[in-house]
Structure 1
Amino acid sequence: MNWYVLYTKPKWEKKVAEQLLQKGIECYCPLVTQIKQWSDRKKKVEVPLFNSYVFVRLNETDRNLVFQSSGVVRYLFWLAKPAVVRDEEITTIKNWLEMPDQYEVSVSTLQVGDKVVLESGPFQSHEAVVKEVNRNNNYVLVLESLGCVLKMKLKQT
């Protein structure tokens, strides 16, 4: 069985994941906690790590079952084929979300466009392309197999 990427309606990621689980389809919607501010209050909310994406694990022959859930738009395609995410990439995302809030990373000598192999942390041994580095501890990590960019801010101790 492979992991595929579903594209959902905007803001439907959690609803789609819940519907798929109720139908017995293995899925994963990575969530992160953010503090949202309204005019009268602040609140911690869980939001999807990847907007409009839900990962599903099923056989190629069962791919059409997901369209029985409302909110599913289509599968994400990569090079004219349904995008397949490797098990280790899903595991890496899960591990990254479970990691402590502090990391020690040094990228001072890296230039935009450099290809690097990460030596530590949740993406250890993964190859990445440096797209952006700035002095506010914001880094851009490219996940090529998903065809998306993950922006990460490292917290200071």
Structure 2
Amino acid sequence: MITQKENKNWLVLYTRSRWEKKVDRLLKEQNIESFCPLVKTRRQWVDRAKLVDIPLFPSYLFVRIKTHEQSKIIQTSGAVNFITYCGKPAVIQDAEIERIRMITKHYPDVKTISLTGVNIGDHVTVVNGPLINKMGEIISVKGQSVVMVIKNINCALTIKTDHSRICLAE
């Protein structure tokens, strides 16, 4: 009988809030390959400022495991569940993991932003800033840059924004 050797795949693990680094350490102590991409950021306290490592993806880390090891991972303190796609754990290609490693290595100021629900073609309203209440259409989204056409002033703008500055128009 011929058995096929099962390959290890990178899966996305959802963790408790602010437990990413601890879960990463616990998995490595169990000899499980894990990757928690970290970036340095400056944090200000009342008495001092300090550079600290924070996860690039809050509440997420990557584990490289075989399918039968999933239950062992979930039993790790702080691990919640695997992110799924079409009912199966989402698999991340090795090349994507390497790309994330290279980005965090060469661009220490990289950060993620959420533009959930904002897509090309959406009509949006600016909710704060100098263009408050202006309506426009999203032409492209690249990182923090959103290209928006504002018709009533007949111009196109490229703005750096986060999700809190625009909302979908009704």
- Identify the TM-score tier after normalising by the shorter chain: 0.5 to 0.7
CA pair 96-82 structure 1, distance change in 2 beyond 3 A = same
Q: Which amino acid in structure 2 is aligned with residue 130 of structure 1? A: V
Question: Which residue of the partner structure matches residue 80 of structure 1?
Answer: 87
User: Taking structure 2 as the reference length, what is the TM-score of the superposition?
Assistant: 0.61
CA pair 62-79 structure 1, distance change in 2 beyond 3 A = same
Larger Rg: 2
Between the two proteins, the alignment pairs up a number of residues equal to: 116
1:113 CA drift (Å)? 2.5
Question: Which residue of the partner structure matches residue 147 of structure 1?
Answer: none
Question: Which residue of the partner structure matches residue 150 of structure 2?
Answer: none
User: Taking structure 1 as the reference length, what is the TM-score of the superposition?
Assistant: 0.66
Following the alignment from structure 2 to structure 1, what is the Cα–Cα distance between the partners of residues 58 and 108?
22
1:67 CA drift (Å)? 2.1
Q: How does 1:59-78 map to 2 (within 5 A)?
A: 59-78=66-85
Q: Which runs of 5 or more structure 2 residues have no equivalent in the other structure? A: 1-7, 110-118, 122-139, 147-157, 163-170
Q: Which runs of 5 or more structure 1 residues have no equivalent in the other structure? A: 103-111, 115-128, 141-157
Is 1:38–2:72 an aligned residue pair? no
- Structure 1 runs, 4 residues or longer, greater than 4 Å off: none
Q: Are the aligned partners of 2:23 and 2:78 in contact in 1 as well (CA < 8 Å)? A: yes
Following the alignment from structure 2 to structure 1, what is the Cα–Cα distance between the partners of residues 107 and 96?
19
Q: Are the aligned partners of 2:40 and 2:108 in contact in 1 as well (CA < 8 Å)? A: no
1:139 CA drift (Å)? 7.9
CA pair 51-113 structure 1, distance change in 2 beyond 3 A = same
Following the alignment from structure 1 to structure 2, what is the Cα–Cα distance between the partners of residues 86 and 139?
30
2:39 partner SS: strand
Following the alignment from structure 1 to structure 2, what is the Cα–Cα distance between the partners of residues 49 and 80?
25
Is 1:53–2:60 an aligned residue pair? yes
Is 1:98–2:110 an aligned residue pair? no
